[in-house]
Structure 1
């Protein structure tokens, strides 16, 4: 059975069910023969829920084929429950949100019910307000809608501030009895891609709030929102772009279709980010023969084995999936710049608007130091990119967005950037050849901060997208001109490097009043560790990290095949839908 699909299924279930430490203890105390039987039994048990799910879906389809079957929908399973999901070739969270909102608006308008959109507490969902006196008509209109289409319902108690997680089929009458006393109801239609790999559900639903007229002439909300909890009952409706009602929408460009609202919800708020935000990637293909030739001919070498390790330059197509994560989870990004040593991934469509490949030759203030194989040197020149926004995010290609993020996760509306300190400390003492490169650069950064501001930095930064400002980077280049030039000129990682984009910028900006600490839910996965399969499985199952990094500094070319066998399915399952930056022929043959 070794190497067969059945063997792979058994091993996958075994790893998914048991944590790495437990498997290690089993391997120490149980013979291979017994362990093989344990694996098979676990695989059998793990398969039972899947079989039950299939039976539930089959029954649901038989009972209501009009809801679960059709040219525009397919049956799926969500939390072990059968759901009908509408199919979209170009599915995104923003699209799912708008589809659900439009379904509710059409039902209310068709029934002649007055309503207005509200700037609610959540960016992934939408909120529509109606007068509580119209509740019977509203519930009838929504019930009729859910009888014709596979809508699901979640009654929300008065004052409830948490985001709903579950829903019930709207064609069942019991849920509408509970909705009769709720402060709001969430209407959800599930949406998926043609192969049913990604399903977007309850978080992207539309909340219908019942506003009460406790004071004559004044409507009061059943819970808090971002603007106001009272509006005049007879206030005039206005139209505004739906972009106002979700921070996932691009600010000031490509506005979403208009919706009906009240004037109170159209005013700009102090925390609205109205400036453009770009993204910069640095990327290298370490298997490119021309790049390898340039590296072999370059004088000098990295001071530390980790800095010269092949793992630093291996490409596992992480960039493709990182771009997919941007497409899904940060639609507000304006332009993307890919900084390379005159290399372009074979799958990348460079003709698509919004993407520009930038050569090292275009940004290095002293091109004579090229070629360079030092990421610290490349990062020192990012602010020279022509056309780059003042505010931008710097990604390594092994960084991914794991769920929706908004500009406010990285920037304040007044222009301040955020930074994300790591629990890991920068080692004490002077830089040493025994230090790994990140520690050396951290120590050098610490020296500059101590000299300039009199404080001692002790923390590294998390491996998440780094919020940066061009003006701060220019200032650092002038303030520490000699050390900056030295870093730029080091072709390989060196003992006098600075890590400008990933660390020094944040501490310098903080001390000059232009950055503050922030917080993101984040995971760091070292591909060389034995618990990697378990950690990837948890990431995929939960999808609750704003960002995660799949890093590797010690592997060799011999490890690539095994890592591809692990990473490929994970990344494809997490980000199954191509971005617009992938060549169309590859998208069509998927």
Structure 2
């Protein structure tokens, strides 16, 4: 997945998306699709583009060609999550290749011959180029794709989202695979197809992924096995969000009793809504379609752009989740985070996002949880300062010191690292247990209207270490970027992030910006976020 800033050539007005693969389409349309010409070859413009939509479009286009030619096929549980694989009996090779030749003649795409023993995959070649067809007559595997981009040309979803055709050799009563897959080397030659859940064929898909993006596929019974590395449990996402520009909320904050002990605690930058939530949810829609439900925790606020009438997203108010109503109103993220596990209907496994955290590319749930349900946490390279809480501590350091003291007293072990700004993988049961085990500290944090010297940091540290010390979490790592917005070279850093698109997650944090900074930053952020996440989620009005 790359940007297409180098794509040149006119965009045609006929048609719309690449017609062979739009959701719900089962056959190529007669009208010409909107096409760009570039150094990449033919690139089809597709509104609403996501990696999963490109993957399904390519699969649908290819199997439609096979169906039209009367070639039997079955979905294979391949080892790559981005693309799909179909198996075809070797004796049907000629008809299958003729179908591909006709289809790629009408709608040019890309082709590569896959050698399972080669140290590197072959480069895809435009189907317009005669060289693309030289070795297909004897190839064990052929991968086909139609490159796609969004209307603004920000994304290029290429060959990795294609569909591979494997030619299975007959051996006695079985068909034998030309390369390894996730389940079996052979299927019954005279077997019949059954329907297999979409999650069997990619780790980017779950039972809660929209069916038009990830339909059940015709496969063989041999692939309907629950593998040891499958994740079948539900994973939810939780956000905390505030619109600091809301005058009603501002009045509540002005009336609240208690003093912010540190300048960072009261900084208006901590409460500004830059519309990050909209784009963070877009990042889930584009890159984590396996999320079951999204919960947005607010102080009786609803983002003006957000739809509330759809399954899969819900606002959970502070009044709903706080066990002690006397703790409200609160303007302390630590306080709010201490109550997240009280959200009604929340899954045992969930990811907690600040609204300035984003998925940066397709990420599987395995990045955050092991198949047996163990959560992963991501320790920082920084270290928690030594000694007791001091007046000069930042709110983050003070909370980490409080976490350390409680955990050392209970478990006899010392935590030394805070966590990176990566979505926090949490176990609901671990948070419930931690609240029961440390009721005084938990209640004190819940009751702090602003960040206080006595706070714990429940989600970003304490609950993660508590889960680890009780056998429910383990350390992990992933490519990520943390970008503080109040830096002089913000434009250059955002551009590098946009050009690379090589981070699993990133955080655009803002705790110290002045009003002058904010005004200058906003245009940069608007351009960056709309370019990185050009496809609206279904939850936007």
TM-score, normalised relative to structure 1? 0.83
2:193 alignment counterpart:
237
Equivalent position to 2:446, from 488, 491, 509:
488
Aligned to 2:146: 189
Residue 223 of structure 1: aligned partner: 179
Is the Cα contact below 8 Å between 1:487 and 1:497 reproduced in 2? Answer: yes
Aligned to 1:11: none
User: Does the alignment pair 1:115 with 2:73?
Assistant: yes
The structure with the largest alpha-carbon Rg is 1
Q: Distance in 2 between matches of 1:506 and 1:82?
A: 47
Offset of residue 429 of structure 1 = 1.6
1:84–1:150 Cα contact (<8 Å) kept: no
Of 74, 79, 82, the residue aligned with 2:34 is 74
Q: Once superposed, which parts of structure 1, at least 4 consecutive aligned residues long, lie more than 6 Å away?
A: 161-164
Q: How does 1:83-162 map to 2 (within 5 A)?
A: 83-88=42-47, 90-160=48-118
Q: Who is 2:133 aligned against? A: 176
Counterpart secondary structure, 1:495: coil
- Following superposition, the deviation at residue 330 of structure 1 comes to 1.5
- Secondary structure of 2:134 counterpart: helix
Corresponding residue number in structure 2 for 1:23? none
Whether 1:423 aligns to 2:377 is no
Matched, 1:467 2:425: yes
- With the length of structure 2 as denominator, give the TM-score of the two structures: 0.90
Matched, 1:358 2:316: yes
Shift of 1:337: 1.1
CA distance in 2, matches of 1:268, 1:162: 30
Asked whether the 8 Å contact 1:76–1:196 carries over to 2, the reply is: no
**CA shift for structure 1 position 86:** 4.7
Query: How many residues align structurally?
Result: 522
Bigger share in helix: 1
Structure 2: runs of 5+ lacking an equivalent:
21-28
Cα distance in 2 for partners of 1:72, 1:242 equals 30
Superposition RMSD on alpha carbons, in Å?
A: 2.5
Cα 1:77–1:493 change in 2 (3 A) is: farther
Q: Distance in 2 between matches of 1:315 and 1:389?
A: 27
Aligned to 2:399: 441
SS in 1 for 2:380: strand
Aligned partners of 1:188 and 1:202 also within 8 Å: yes
Q: Report the CA distance between 1:461 and its aligned residue.
A: 1.0
Residue 208 of structure 2 contacts residue 291 of structure 2 at CA under 8 Å; is this kept in 1? no
Q: CA deviation at 1:359?
A: 1.5
Q: Which residue of 1 aligns with 2:25?
A: none
More displaced, 484-493 or 404-413? Answer: 404-413
C-alpha spacing 1:334/1:206, structure 2 compared with 1 (3 Å): same
Query: CA deviation digits over 1:18-67, x for unaligned, max 9?
Result: xxxxxxxxxxxxxxxxxxxxxxxxxxxxxxx95xx536x799x9xxxx99
The match for 2:207 is 251
The structure-2 alpha-carbon separation of the partners of 1:562 and 1:128, relative to structure 1 and needing over 3 Å to count, comes to same
Compute the displacement of 1:551 (Å).
0.5
* Corresponding residue for residue 578 of structure 1: 536
Say which is worse superposed, 288-297 or 237-246, in terms of deviation.
Answer: 237-246
CA drift of 1:542 comes to 1.9
Segments of structure 1 that go 5 or more residues without pairing to the other structure are 1-48, 584-590
Structure 1 residues 162, 380: closer, same or farther in 2, change over 3 A? Answer: farther
Structure 2 residue 159 is matched with structure 1 residue 202: yes
Which of 391, 404, 409 is 1:451 aligned to?
409
Structure 1 residue 572: deviation in Å? 0.4
